[in-house]
Structure formats: C-alpha cells, structure tokens
C-alpha cells in the first residue's frame, strides 16, 4: 500500500513528527511504501475561494500543490497516487496547524477525485493539554473529512500531555503510533 503522510508541524523535530516517525517505521516494516509531505515547508498558498477550479480542478494557483499545464505533479499527484493519507499535526488552539489546514483546504480543486478513490486515513496529533476533551474539536473535524472524502478511518493516535519532544519520547503514544503503522500490513 502507498501511504502519504501529511505533516503539519512547523517544529521539524517536534512531538507530532516524533510520532509520525514511529508510524512510518511500523508502516514500512509492514511492507508499505511511505511518502512524507511536509506541509509546514511546502510552498502552498491558501485557497482563495475563487472557484475557478469548478471544484474539479485545476486550481488557479501555481504552487507545490501542482497540476500545471494539465500535467499531474506535486502534492496533488502524490495524494491521488496514494492508497492512504495520514494527517499529522500538533494541536493548536484545539485544531490542526494552519500549515496542514492550508493543504487540506486546497483539496477543494480535486475533491471528486479523492472521493472516488475511497482511500484509507489516520490521524496523529499531540497536545500539551491532557484534559479529557482536549481533542474533541480536532477529532470532529477529522471525522467530517473522513465522511466527506469517503475515507476509511484506520485509527488515531492522540498524544495528550506531549508538550515537549522529551515528554513525547517517554510516552505510550510512541508505541501506539508504531503499532498503528505496523497494523496496516493486511488492510
């Protein structure tokens, strides 16, 4: 299975990326191919809502999302070539990072293509906060994406109390992320 991991942390060595690394390790050991797209460092401009794409593409913007001159390239091509998308983000004000959200907003120009693929998906996130309700808004958003884009949810790893990379490295969430990746061998 081809997996695309969309990371959204501006902290290259931050807690969410630590969990992503463990997920990737497990997924590769299970025989999957993995491509990482670093949304925080990609040249992706926000959707302007111009609707020149007609909700079916191509997007009017020319950046790392791709699809210039009718040719499929860039992030769009990676996503449409995948069997699974994994969304990785630190929790920022109870939602995903702006960097990841910017990439997801640009799905607008190829929603139909994503929906028809019936891809698999997963969510990996971390937060300093450890309250029971910490991830409610993020998981509601993720579940809405799953429903709208016809994804099959393969699981989530929600690292509460992972405020620093050291805290995360010592947490049970490292093993959970690895096991989620490893579990994808027969799915």
Mean of the pLDDT values across residues 27-41?
A: 96
Predicted pLDDT at 184: 95
**Gyration radius of the chain over CA positions:** 16
Predicted pLDDT at 179: 98
Predicted pLDDT at 72: 47
- How far is it, in rounded angstroms, from Cα 90 to Cα 96? 6
Band of residue 61 on the pLDDT scale cut at 50, 70, 90: confident
- How far is it, in rounded angstroms, from Cα 23 to Cα 182? 7
Q: Which pTM was predicted?
A: 0.94
Domains of the chain from N-terminus onward: 2-43+82-107+119-185 (3.40.50.360)
Is the predicted pLDDT of residue 94 greater than 80, yes or no?
yes
Band of residue 187 on the pLDDT scale cut at 50, 70, 90: low
Predicted pLDDT at 37: 96
Predicted pLDDT at 19: 98
Predicted pLDDT at 56: 80
Predicted pLDDT at 52: 87
Query: What HEC string does the chain produce?
Result: CEEEEEECCCCCCCHHHHHHHHHHHHHHHCCCEEEEEECCCCCCCCCCCCCCCCCCCCCCCCCCCCCCCCCCCHHHHHHHCCCEEEEEEECECCECCHHHHHHHHHHHHHHHHHHHHCCEEEEEEECCCCCCCCCHHHHHHHHHHHHHCCCEEEEEEEECCCCCHHHHHCCCHHHHHHHHHHHHHCC
Mean of the pLDDT values across residues 58-81?
A: 78
């Amino acid at each position: 299975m081809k997996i695309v991991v969309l990371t959204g942390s501006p902290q290259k060595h931050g807690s969410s990326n630590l969990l992503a690394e463990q997920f990737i390790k497990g997924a590769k050991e299970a025989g999957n191919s993995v491509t990482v797209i670093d949304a925080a460092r990609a040249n992706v401009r926000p959707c302007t809502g111009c609707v020149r794409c007609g909700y079916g593409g191509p997007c009017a913007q020319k950046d790392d999302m791709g699809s210039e001159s009718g040719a499929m390239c860039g992030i769009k091509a990676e996503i449409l070539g995948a069997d699974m998308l994994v969304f990785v983000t630190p929790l920022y004000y109870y939602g995903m990072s702006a960097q990841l959200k910017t990439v997801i907003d640009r799905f607008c120009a190829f929603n139909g293509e994503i929906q028809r693929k019936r891809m698999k998906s997963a969510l990996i996130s971390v937060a300093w906060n450890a309250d029971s309700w910490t991830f409610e808004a993020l998981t509601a958003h993720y579940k809405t994406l799953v429903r709208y884009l016809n994804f099959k949810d393969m699981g989530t790893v929600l690292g509460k109390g992972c405020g620093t990379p050291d805290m995360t490295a010592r947490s049970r969430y490292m093993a959970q992320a690895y096991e989620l990746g490893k579990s994808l061998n027969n799915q």
